[in-house]
Amino acid sequence: MSIHGILGEKTTDYPTQYSPEALYPIARSIGRDVIDWQDDKLQVGVDWWHAFEMSWLNPRGISQVAMARFSIPASSPFIVESKSLKLYLNSINFTEFGSWQEVQTLIAKDLSACVQVDVKVELIGLDDSELELLITQPDGICIDNALAGSPDKVALTVHPDASLLSGSNSIEEPSNAKMDKKEGQSYTFYSNLLRSNCPVTNQPDWGTLAVTMTSTQTVDNANMLRYILSFRQHNGFHEQCVEQIFADLSRYYQPSALMVRAWYTRRGGIDINPCRVSDLSLLPEPSRLIRQ
């Protein structure tokens, strides 16, 4: 019997030489066709990726380490398959660079070629003062206890169910609402209970979902939580899940302003943080949460 158990059933060859061909693009249209909504409205936003296992060699052959942030516009025709990105980043571990700028330039060139749009790359040193600014807390209220008073058991669903947004179990006027007679109510809330499955490996993906929305319709926290929980067995990429939520909330609440973002926990040294907005003026700054 293998000492590695089930983890030893398959092996992966990690390249030790610079291998841009390791990057594997996946068309965004695959996920967006399932959503079946206005494609152009899903192209407003950014996917922020954080890589925590960045390393390369300086001209003296000494390993250099850093964190990296990749900003991929939602308008890109493709996303990068996350494991292929890990393999690519590993492929430069033993490549010599004369400066950090050379590393940034090369990665930006390769990622941009993969997703067919300009990708911004930032390297962050481990003693960089910016590290203190990366860890934040979501704005608004947490709705994770919104079902505490409900007698009903939350059922597991195979697919996300937007009909749960209009469930019959009503609650009092939510405390995350601020009334504006002309525009409606402004809501800011989040949940740490977002879960879905990777469609490639079927491994679970955990994340924190945050929503800021202005709508003339009332948001029921309990129904919103039921809807978020309906993603628990859904097979979808991080980006597709956020876009599905953005589309469902847009269809149901007809908001005048909407921002949906998620901070997913890392796998393979990489976390993915998609954000979609109804207008670019609503785009927040990139950040990380404590669980990342």
**pLDDT band, very low/low/confident/very high, at 152 (cuts 50, 70, 90):** confident
Q: Give the ranges where 36-187 is alpha helix by DSSP (H).
A: 82-91, 100-115, 131-134
Are the C-beta atoms of residues 248 and 237 closer than 8 Å to each other?
Answer: no
Spatial CB neighbours of 33, under 8 Å, sequence gap ≥ 6: none
Distance CA 192, CA 202 (A): 20
Rounded to an integer, the average pLDDT of 37-64 is: 96
Which of 47, 110, 205, 271 is labelled catalytic? Answer: 205
Rounded to an integer, the average pLDDT of 275-284 is: 97
Q: Is 205 a catalytic residue?
A: yes
Rounded to an integer, the average pLDDT of 134-143 is: 91
Rounded to an integer, the average pLDDT of 219-247 is: 96
**pLDDT band, very low/low/confident/very high, at 168 (cuts 50, 70, 90):** very low
For 239, phi then psi, to 5°, come to -65, -40
Across all residues in the chain, what is the average pLDDT?
Answer: 90
Which one has a higher pLDDT value, 16 or 225? Answer: 225
Where are any strands of DSSP class E within the chain? Answer: 25-27, 45-57, 63-73, 78-80, 120-124, 135-136, 141-142, 177-180, 184-197, 204-215, 257-264, 270-277, 288-289
Under DSSP, the state recorded for 6 is: G
pLDDT of residue 3: 45
What does the angle CA 178 – CA 288 – CA 103 come to, to the nearest 5 degrees? 140
Q: Is 161 a catalytic residue?
A: no
Under DSSP, the state recorded for 153 is: P
Rounded to an integer, the average pLDDT of 182-202 is: 91
pLDDT of residue 50: 95
pLDDT of residue 173: 40
Q: What is the token pair recorded at 63?
A: 């390993």
Which one has a higher pLDDT value, 241 or 182? Answer: 241
Rounded to an integer, the average pLDDT of 208-231 is: 96
Spatial CB neighbours of 65, under 8 Å, sequence gap ≥ 6: 54, 55, 126
Q: What is the token pair recorded at 214?
A: 């202005």
Task: From 276, 289, 271, 274, select the one nearest 82 (Cα to Cα).
Answer: 271
Distance CA 110, CA 96 (A): 17
pLDDT of residue 16: 85
- What radius of gyration, in Å, describes the C-alpha atoms of the chain? 21
Task: Tell me the whole-structure pTM to 2 decimals.
Answer: 0.90
Distance CA 94, CA 15 (A): 10
Q: Is the pLDDT score of 98 beyond 90? A: yes
